[in-house]
Amino acid sequence: MSGWWSDRRVGPALGSAGVLVLAIIAGMTVYVLREAWPSFSANGLAWFGTGGDANVQLENIFRSEPPFEYMLRAWPLLYGTLLSSGGAVIFGLVLSTLTAVFIVEFAPPSVVRILEPVVRLLAGVPSVIYGLIGVLVLVPFLNDHLISTERKESVFYVIQLTGQSLLVATALLTIMIVPIMIAIAVDALRSVPSSWTEGALALGANRMRVMWTIALRAARPALVAGAVLALARALGEAIMLAMVSGGVIFAPNPLDGSTFFFEPIQPLAAAIVQGAEGITVKPYGQTLFAFAAVIMVSSVGLSITGWAVRRRLRRFAA
Amino acid sequence: MSALATPPQERPPRLRTDPSGSWRAWPLRDRVLLGLCWAAGLALIAIAALIVLYMLVKGVQYLRPELLWDRPEASIDQSRSGGFLDPILGTVLIVVGALVIAAPLGVATAVWLTEYGKPKWLARMVESGIEVIAGTPSIVLALFGLAFFAQGGLGFLSATGEGGAVFGRSLLICCAVLSLEALPLIVGATREGLLSTPRHVREASYALGKTRAATIHRVLLPVARPNIATGCALGMGRVAGDTAVVLLLGGGTLQLTTNGSIPGLNYLQGTGSTLTTYVYANSPSGEGGAPEKAYAAAFLLLALVLVLNWAVDRIARGSNERLGWTR
Amino acid sequence: MDPLMPPPPIRRIVVDAPHVVVPAPEPETNGAVRMRPRVTTDVVERMRVEELTITYGPKVAVNGVNLPVHQGEVLALIGPSGCGKTTLLRSLNRLVELTPGAARGGKIVLDGDDVDAIEVTSLRRRISMVFQQPNPFPMSIFDNVAYALREQGSKRVKRAELMAPVRNALERAGLWDEVGDDLDRPALRMSGGQQQRLCIARALAADPEVLLLDEPCSALDPRSTATIEELILQLRESLAVVIVTHNLQQAYRIADRVAFMYLGELVEYGLAEDVFERPQHTRTAEYVGGAFG
C-alpha cells in the first residue's frame, strides 16, 4: 500500500486527469467543427449575412434530398442572439453594479445576510424554471395587457405578436446572468485597498462618491470581466430562450418604435433546441452544429478573456 | 453607605453620530444613487421571493402525492397521463452518475494543479482548459455528446439499431456529458480548499517523513473534504438543473426504458427523462401542454435546488467553525 | 444645522487677542538637531479635545484626554505602539467612526464648533489627513490633487479652473518643480517620497485648517524624510499640524509641542524642550530617555 503512494506514481496519475480534460476540449472542438463544416463551406461568409427568409431556408434544408441543400443566411438568428444577450448584459451591468455597491457599502448587515443567499439562489434556479415562468406568466401577461390590439394590427402583415418577445427574453436573461456579475463585482469591490477608500473619505468625499470615483474605478477591470463572462453565459442559454422565443425566426426592426421590444426573436441556441427533433436529418443536423460552432467559438473566447482579465486583476490586488 | 461607597460604574461612551445617517447631507445626485442601490438590492430580493412563492403556491396547488409514484403515460387526457416517478428517478440517476464520474476526475485534477503542477505550461493549459469547459454552454456540450457517442465503437453505451446504427442517446451518455458541467465546480472548490491550507500543515507532514503523495492522501484531502463536498453539491445542483443535455441525449422518452441485460446498468443504458425535461415537455413549448404537471414538477425541482443551496451554506459554515486556522 | 442645507463654506477665523497663546520659544541654535525656522505668524488655538474617550468594544483606546491644537505649531503625539495616538488622531477628523464598534465620549471642538455638529464631509475638508503608507489613487497626478476640489461641489469643474489651486497645492508640497511639467503621469509611477508628498499636496488642495499626519515618514528613506520634515516646518505657518510619530528624533527635530501618551492616557503635554529635556513624569523620562539616554 505504502509503496503505491509514491510520488513517482501519483504525480503522473493525477496529471493524466488534467490531460484528459484537455483531450475532451480538443475532441469537442474537432467533433463540433467537423459536423458543422458542410454548412459553412456551402455558404461561405454569406452564412453570416442576410438574404431571404431563414424560416424557409431551414425548411428547405430539412426537406432536401441528396445532393443536400445547405443554403442559409443566418443573420436573423445572430441578430436575435446579439440583441437578447447584449441587452441583458447592458441591463445586468447597471443592476449588478448598483447591487454590488449596495452589498459592499450601504446595505445593513441584516440585509446583506438575506441578499447574498438570494443572489446564489437566483444563480441556482434551473433555466427551465425561468423558462416556465416566462412562458406561463410573463408571455400571457404581455399578450393580454401590454400589447394592444392596435399594436398587433400595426405589424400584422409581417409578424404576429403573441407576447413571446425580445422583452421577455431579455428580462429573464438579465435575471439569469446578473448573479455572476454581482459575485465578481462584490469580490472586486471588497478587494479594493482600504487605504484608497479611507484616503478619499479623509479628503471629504462622501461614501457614495468614494464608491463611484475610487472603488468602482479600481474595480473596472473586474466589471468588464464579469460582463464578458456573463455575455458568454447569455450566448449559450438555450432552454429558457427556446421556451419564450416562439417558433419563428424573426429580426425585430428598430424602426417599429416601441413595438420593437414586443417582436419575437430566435437566438442561435434556442434554434438548436427548437430543431432538436430533426437533428438526425443530415443537412439539417449539420446546420444546427454550425449554430453550436458559432456559440462555442464565441463563448469559449469570451470566457477565456474574462478569466484572463480576472487573473491579472487578482495579481494586481495582492 | 454601601450603595455610595463604590463610585458609580462609568458607562461606556456612546458614539454620538450615526455614520450611516450622514446621507441626508449628500448632494441630490448621490442621494438618488443611494436610492437606486437600495432599489436594485430590494428588487433582487423581491424577484427571488416572487419566484419561490409563486412556485410554492403552484406546487401546493397542483402537487398531489400520487404524482410522485405514478409513472408518466403518453395520453392526451390529462387525468390519465400519470405522474413523474420516472423523471424523479432519472434525475437521481444522472445526478449520481455524473458525480461518480466528475468527483474523482475533478479532485484529481485539482490536487495535481495545486500540489504538483509540473510541467508548468501543462498546468497552465489544464487550468485554462477547466475554464473553457466552465464557459462552454450546455447546448454545445450536448451536441458534442451527440456527435461523439454516436460512433460505432461506443455502441455499448446506448441502444444500437438494426445494422449496427448507434443510437447515441442514453442516461449513461447524459451522465458522461453532464459530468463535464460539474467538473469545473468541483475543481474550483477543491483547489480553494487546498490553497487555503496553511503551509505549516504541509510542512509538518513532510517533517514526519511522509511523501507528498501520502501527505495528500492522509492530510490534505481530509482537510479539504468540506470544500470537496461544497463542490459536489454545487455540481449536483448544476446537473439536476440542466435541461439541454438531457433533452438531446436522454432519448426523449418520459418513461425510463431499459437496454442491455445487466441489472442496474440497464437503466443507465436505456433512455429516460429528468424533472427538467419533464417540465419542458409539459410546458406549452414542449408537446405535453399540461402546465399543472409542469408546475408541480418544477416545484419539486426548485425544492431540490434550494436544499442543495442550503447544504452548500451549511457545509461552508461548518467547515469555518471546525477549521479555525483558515481564518 | 438643517441636515438638508449644503455644507457651510470653509472659512478662516479672524485672529483675535484671547486666542493667541504663547508661542514656543525660539529654537536653540547650539544644538544642530533643532534647526527650526521661527514662526512668523501668530500662534492661535484651532482645535481643542476635551475629555476624549474612545473605546473599541470593551477595549479603551483613548481615556479622558484633554489637548489643545495650535496653528503655527507642530504638535507631535508620541508613545509606544498601541498607546492610542493614532486613534486620537483619527478621531479628530471623525475617521474613527469607520471602525466598527468604535464609540466616543467627550468633545472635540474646531474653531468653537463641536465637530459632531459639522457635516462630516466638510469637516474632513477642513481637517485633512495624510496616512502612514503613501496612498495615491490610481489616477494621474493632476486628478489626485484635484480630487478634494472636485468632490467639494456637485458640479463638474473644468480642468482649467482647477489648474491654479492644483499648482498651488503642489508648490506648497514642494513637488511642483519635480512634476509640474507632466501632471498626467500616473501617480503610482512616482517614487515613495514623491508619492507621500503628493498625498500632502492632495490634502492641502482643499485649503484645510488642520493637517493630520499619521507617521508620514515611516515608509520612506532618510532623504525623503528630511524633505518632508522641512515641508512640515513650512506648513505650520499657515495651518495647525498634528503628527503621530514613532521616531523620537523626528519629534525632537520638528515638534513645537509634544504630547506623550501611554496606555490611552495623556501622560505629559508641553513644549518640546520641556518634554524631552525636563520630563515631569517618570514614564515620560523612561520613554524619552530610552532614545536619548
Residue C11 has pLDDT above 80, yes or no: no
Minimal-distance CA residue of chain A relative to C134:
A195
**Model ipTM value:** 0.89
> Per the domain annotation, does B8 fall within a domain?
no
CB C144 within 8 A of CB C46: no
Instruction: Please judge whether B144 and A95 are an interchain contact, meaning their C-beta atoms are less than 8 angstroms apart.
Output: no
Output Rg (C-alpha) for chain B, integer angstroms. 27
- CA distances for B313 relative to A190, B52, B192, B233, B234, angstroms: 20, 18, 16, 10, 11
Helix A75-101 to helix A220-236 angle (10° resolution) is 140
The predicted structure's pLDDT at residue C25: 62
Backbone CA torsion sign across A41, A45, A51, A56 = positive
- pLDDT band per the 50, 70, 90 thresholds, residue C293: very low
pLDDT band for C30, please (50, 70, 90 cuts).
very low
| Cβ-based contacts of C129 with chain A (< 8 Å) | 202
Same domain, B71 and B58: no
Backbone angles phi, psi at C50, to 5 degrees: -120, 120
Q: CA–CA separation, A249 vs A159, rounded Å?
A: 10
Decide if pLDDT at C3 tops 50: no
In tens, the pLDDT along A258-293 reads 888 888 888 999 989 888 888 888 888 888 999 999
Predicted local distance difference test score (pLDDT) of residue B325: 43
Residue A287 φ/ψ, nearest 5 degrees? -65, -40
Least confident of A159-168, A181-190, B78-87: B78-87
- pLDDT under 50: residue ranges of chain B: 1-9, 11-12, 15-18, 324-327
Mean residue pLDDT of chain C comes to 83
Residues 6+ apart with CB under 8 A from B195: B114
Q: Is residue B9 part of a domain?
A: no
How many of the other CB atoms lie within 10 Å of CB of A63? 11
* B144 and B37 within one domain: no
Residues B194 and B45 in one domain: no
B155 domain residue, yes or no: yes
Mean pLDDT along residues C200-219? 90
What single letter denotes the amino acid at residue B117?
A: G
Residue C109, classed as helix, strand or coil, is: strand
- The pLDDT > 70 percentage for chain A reads 96
Subunits next to A (3 or more Cβ pairs <8 Å) are B, C
The top-scoring range by mean pLDDT among A95-109, B237-251, B252-266, C87-101 is A95-109
Shared domain check, B124 and B32: no
What pLDDT score does B5 carry?
Answer: 43
Beta carbons of B52 and B302 less than 8 angstroms apart: yes
**Do the Cβ atoms of C113 and C126 come closer than 8 Å?**
no
Coil vs helix vs strand at C102: strand
Measured on CA atoms in the order A285, A289, A295, A296, is the torsion positive or negative? positive
Question: Could you tell me the three cell numbers for B54?
Answer: 409563486
Domain C33-137+208-292 CATH (choose: 3.30.565.10, 2.30.30.90, 3.40.190.10, 3.40.50.300): 3.40.50.300
Q: Which three cell numbers, joined as nine digits, stand for A102?
A: 449596495
Do the domain assignments include residue B146?
A: yes
Question: Is B302 part of a structural domain of the chain?
Answer: yes
d(CA A262, CA A102) in angstroms, rounded, equals: 32
Q: Where are the domains of chain A?
A: 49-63+72-317
Give CA–CA dist C147/A210, Å, rounded. Answer: 11
Q: Is the peptide bond before A67 cis (omega within 30 degrees of 0)?
A: yes
- Of the listed ranges A23-32, A37-46, B13-22, the least confidently predicted one is B13-22
Do A10 and B295 count as a contact with CB atoms less than 8 A apart? no
Same domain flag for B119 and B204: yes
Of A24, A144, A78, C178, give the one whose Cα is nearest residue B184.
A24
Q: Within this chain, do residues B252 and B150 fall inside the same structural domain, yes or no?
A: yes
C-alpha distances out from residue C2 to A151, B154, C119, C120, Å: 51, 79, 10, 14
Where along chain C do its domains lie? 33-137+208-292
C131·A200 Cβ contact <8 A: no
Q: Which chain A residue's Cα is nearest to C91?
A: A202
C125 and A198 within 8 Å at the Cβ level: the answer is: no
Q: Which residue has the higher pLDDT, C91 or B315?
A: C91
Has residue B2 been placed in a domain?
no
Cα separation of B32 and B213, whole Å?
A: 58
Rounded to whole angstroms, what are the CA distances from A281 to A287, B147, B164, B232, C58?
Answer: 10, 13, 18, 37, 76
A–B interface: beta-carbon pairs under 8 A:
260
- What is the pLDDT, as a whole number, of residue A216? 92
Q: Which alpha helices (H) appear in C9-138, and where do they start and end?
A: 85-92, 120-126
State which residues form the domain around B167.
67-326
Is pLDDT of C1 > 70? Answer: no
Q: Specify the pLDDT at position B42.
A: 96
- Reply yes or no on whether the pLDDT at C29 is more than 60: no
Residues with Cβ within 8 Å of A238's Cβ and at least 6 positions away in sequence, in order, are A127, A269, A270, A272, A273, B137, B138, B139, B244
Fill in the DSSP letter of residue C186.
B
- Report the b/e string of C13-29 with b at 16+ CB within 10 A: eeeeeebeeebbeeeee
Same-domain pairing of B154 and B213: yes
Q: Which three cell numbers stand for residue C238?
A: 499657515
From C93, C122, C133, residue closest to A202, measured CB to CB: C93
Q: How confident is the model at residue C34 (pLDDT cuts 50, 70, 90)?
A: low
Report how far residue A142's alpha carbon sits from residue A163's, in angstroms, rounded to the nearest whole number: 5
Cβ–Cβ under 8 Å, residues A204 and C122? yes
Question: Between 1.10.3720.10, 2.30.42.10, 3.80.30.20, 2.60.120.10, what CATH number should domain A49-63+72-317 receive?
Answer: 1.10.3720.10
Question: Across all residues in chain A, what is the average pLDDT?
Answer: 86
Please indicate, yes or no, if residue B5 is contained in any of the structural domains.
no
For chain C, say whether A212 makes contact (Cβ under 8 Å).
no
Query: What pLDDT is attached to residue B324?
Result: 45
Residues of C in contact with A202 (CB under 8 A): 93, 95, 124, 128-129, 131, 203
Provide φ and ψ at C68, rounded to 5°: -95, 155
In a domain, B13, yes or no: no
Question: Pick from C127, C129, C207, C130: which is nearest to C166 by CA?
Answer: C207
Say if residue B90 is in the same domain as residue B108. Answer: yes
Cell (9 digits) for C244: 503621530
- Across the A:C interface, residue pairs with CB atoms under 8 Å apart total 59
Note whether B12 contacts C120, CB cutoff 8 Å.
no
- Identify the domain boundary among B35, B62, B89: B62
**Which residue in this structure is represented by grid cell 487578482?**
A314
B85 and B30 in one domain?
no
Nearest to A203 among C133, C138, C148 (CB): C148
Contacts of A126 in chain B (CB under 8 A): 240-243, 276, 301-302, 305
Nearest-angstrom CA–CA distance, C205 and C211: 11
Three-state SS for B176-231 is HHHHHHHHHHHHHHHHHHHHCCCHHHHHHHHHCCCCHHHHHHHHHHHHCHHHHHHH
- Final residue in a domain of this structure, among B62, B90, B115: B62
Record the pTM: 0.87
Residue A67 at interface with chain C, using a CB cutoff of 8 Å: no
- Residue A103 reports pLDDT greater than 70: yes
- Rounded CA separation B282/B303 (Å): 19
**Mean pLDDT computed over C49-64:** 89
Q: Please, which chains are in contact with C (at least 3 CB pairs closer than 8 A)?
A: A, B
Co-location of B175 and B31 in the same domain? no
Q: Are residues B108 and B253 in the same domain?
A: yes
Distances (CA, A) of A249 to A62, A152, A246, A306, B326: 15, 18, 8, 31, 54
Helix (H, G, I), strand (E, B) or coil at A74: coil
| Whole-angstrom distance, CA of residue C111 vs CA of residue C126 | 11
The yes-or-no verdict on residue C45 having pLDDT over 80 is: yes
Number of domains into which chain B is organized: 2
Convert the pLDDT of each residue in C233-248 to its tens digit: 888 888 899 999 988 8
At C124-158, the pLDDT tens digits run: 989 999 999 899 998 899 999 999 888 876 677 78
The HSE-up count of residue B125 (CA atoms within 13 Å, CB side) is 17
Residue C289 in 3-state DSSP? helix
Phi and psi, residue C54, nearest 5°:
-130, 130
| Helices (H) then strands (E): counts for chain B | 15, 0
Output the furthest CA–CA distance in chain A (Å, rounded). Answer: 81
User: Is A124 close to B309, i.e. CB distance below 8 A?
Assistant: yes
CB-based contact A126 B133, cutoff 8 Å: no
Whole-number Å distance between alpha carbons of C213 and C90: 10
Least confident of A179-188, A222-231, B220-229, C147-156: C147-156
Give chain B positions within 8 Å (CB) of C103: 12-15
pLDDT band (50, 70, 90) for residue A55: confident
Please report the pLDDT score of residue B74 as a whole number. Answer: 65
